[in-house]
Amino acid sequence: MKPFEILGSAETHDGQKLTLHRRDGGFFIFLDGEELMATRAPGSERALADLGCEDLPSKQPRVLIGGLGLGFTLKAALDTLPSQATVVVSEAFDAVIEWNRTFLKDLQGGALQDRRVSIAQGDVWDQLEEPGSFDSILLDVDNGPSAWCLESNGRLYDRTGLERIRRALRPGGVLAVWSAYPGPAFVKLLKKRGFEAKSHRARSHGGKGNRHTIFVARVPQSGRPGAKSVSGAGRARHSPRKSSGSPARRRSR
């Protein structure tokens, strides 16, 4: 096996080292020497977009993606959404944005050049300030609701954070969260915060590979729990696949 080729590196604001590698035609992002994500099996990133962009209430949906990564969730969302959609991608690290514009641009067919897409460099939390801003919010910023890459991300998954997300969604809007682990307690918390919620299992490589979890939570159309079912959001259009490796790895954004 060929050694890793380092294509780029950057330091995060908390002093960790973020690096982009290439080997045997595949790309990898590492944080402090630990693999965050790879291009070899991106199925659950695609499933995140499919589940989070299905049956949206608007014909001109506005979607927020938290975490650009290697671009698989963005590409899958663009493939699913109509031409009138608007997609805001919030990415914490400048380096990840630059890598997607250079080394990774052909991998996703130039998704960042799609006229529906705008990039917001910074904390996804800041995109959640205005009520009723989005029809769908896709979060792929951590290893799960209780396993954060950045300490500041923990606020996204507690009572205050979920209420902030719920306010940022329009009636009938959907929150979808990627996780390396199942989380019945998180589903219960979502329901307590007024969502209709369930979890879905996604495989990293077709019917094989690591099992990951996609939490799907919908704001009822009437604003009350029970007004709209999430069952329509439970059918992924792609066979779930995910970059292989330890399911306990950290995530960049």
pLDDT digits (tens, 9 = 90+) for 78-97: 999 999 999 999 999 999 99
- The pairing of beta strand 208-218 with beta strand 86-91: unpaired
Q: Each residue of 150-199: pLDDT tens digit?
A: 666 767 989 999 999 999 999 999 999 998 888 899 999 999 999 999 99
Give the chain's domains with CATH numbers.
41-234 (3.40.50.150)
Residue 86's φ and ψ, nearest 5 degrees, are -125, 130
Rounded Cα gap, residues 39 and 148, in angstroms: 21
* This prediction's pTM: 0.84
> CA 15, CA 192: separation in Å to the nearest integer?
36
Other beta carbons less than 10 A from residue 50's beta carbon: 23
Beta strand pairing call for 134-139 and 117-121: unpaired
Q: What is the pLDDT of residues 206-230, one digit of tens each?
A: 666 678 999 999 999 874 444 444 4
Interatomic CA distance for residues 230 and 235, integer angstroms: 10
Per-residue model confidence as pLDDT tens digits over 96-147: 999 999 999 998 888 999 999 999 999 999 999 999 999 999 998 866 676 5
